[in-house]
C-alpha cells in the first residue's frame, strides 16, 4: 500500500487500520474453513507426533523464527512449523515421513505465489485510486 501510494519502498510506513482488519479477517476465515484439515494433515498424516515430538517441533520452529527475525529475514511461522514436523519425522527414519503429503504442501506454497500476485494485480487494476492519483 505504501509503494502504491508513494511510488517507492520505504523503510517504515503507516499501515491503515482497514488493511490490518482485512488481513486479520483473512486469517480467521482461513483457520475456520481449512485450518482443521491442515492441522490433521500435519499432525496425523505427515508423520506420527507424540507429546515429546510436539515439544521438539515447537522448539525448532520457534528457534527458526527467532534466528530469522534477528537476521532480518521474513519468514512464515507456518513454514517453520511444517519444516519442524518434517525434521522431527525424518530424524526417526526416512520412511516415517509421508513424502507425498510433503510434496503437496511444498507445491501449495509454490502455487500460492502466483495466485497472490494475480490477486494483487487485480486489486491494483480495479482498486481504489491512491490519493496522489485522485483529483
pLDDT in tens, 84-105: 999 999 998 888 899 898 898 8
- When mean pLDDT is compared across 2-6, 62-66, 128-132, the lowest value belongs to 128-132
pLDDT of 128 higher than 60 = no
Exposed/middle/buried for residue 70 (C-beta within 10 Å: 0-12, 13-18, 19+): exposed
Cell 485450518 appears where? 35
Q: How confident is the model at residue 133 (pLDDT cuts 50, 70, 90)?
A: low
Per-residue confidence (pLDDT) for residue 94, from 0 to 100? 86
* pLDDT tens-digit map of 30-84: 889 988 888 788 878 888 888 999 999 999 999 999 999 999 888 888 889 899 9
Distance CA 29, CA 23 (A): 10
Q: Is there a contact between 102 and 45 (Cβ–Cβ < 8 Å)?
A: no
Domain boundaries defined on the chain: 15-126
Distance CA 43, CA 92 (A): 15
Amino acid at each position: 500500500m505504501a509503494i502504491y501510494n508513494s511510488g517507492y519502498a520505504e523503510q517504515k510506513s503507516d499501515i491503515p487500520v482497514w488493511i490490518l482488519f482485512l488481513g486479520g479477517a483473512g486469517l480467521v476465515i482461513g483457520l475456520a474453513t481449512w485450518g482443521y484439515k491442515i492441522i490433521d494433515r500435519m499432525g496425523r498424516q505427515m508423520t506420527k507426533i507424540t507429546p515429546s515430538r510436539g515439544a521438539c517441533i515447537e522448539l525448532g520452529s520457534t528457534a527458526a523464527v527467532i534466528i530469522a527475525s534477528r537476521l532480518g529475514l521474513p519468514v512464515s511461522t507456518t513454514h517453520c512449523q511444517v519444516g519442524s514436523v518434517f525434521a522431527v519425522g525424518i530424524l526417526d527414519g526416512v520412511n516415517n515421513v509421508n513424502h507425498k503429503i510433503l510434496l503437496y504442501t511444498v507445491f501449495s506454497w509454490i502455487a500460492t505465489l502466483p495466485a497472490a500476485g494475480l490477486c494483487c494485480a487485480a486489486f491494483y487494476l480495479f482498486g481504489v485510486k491512491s490519493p496522489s492519483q485522485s483529483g
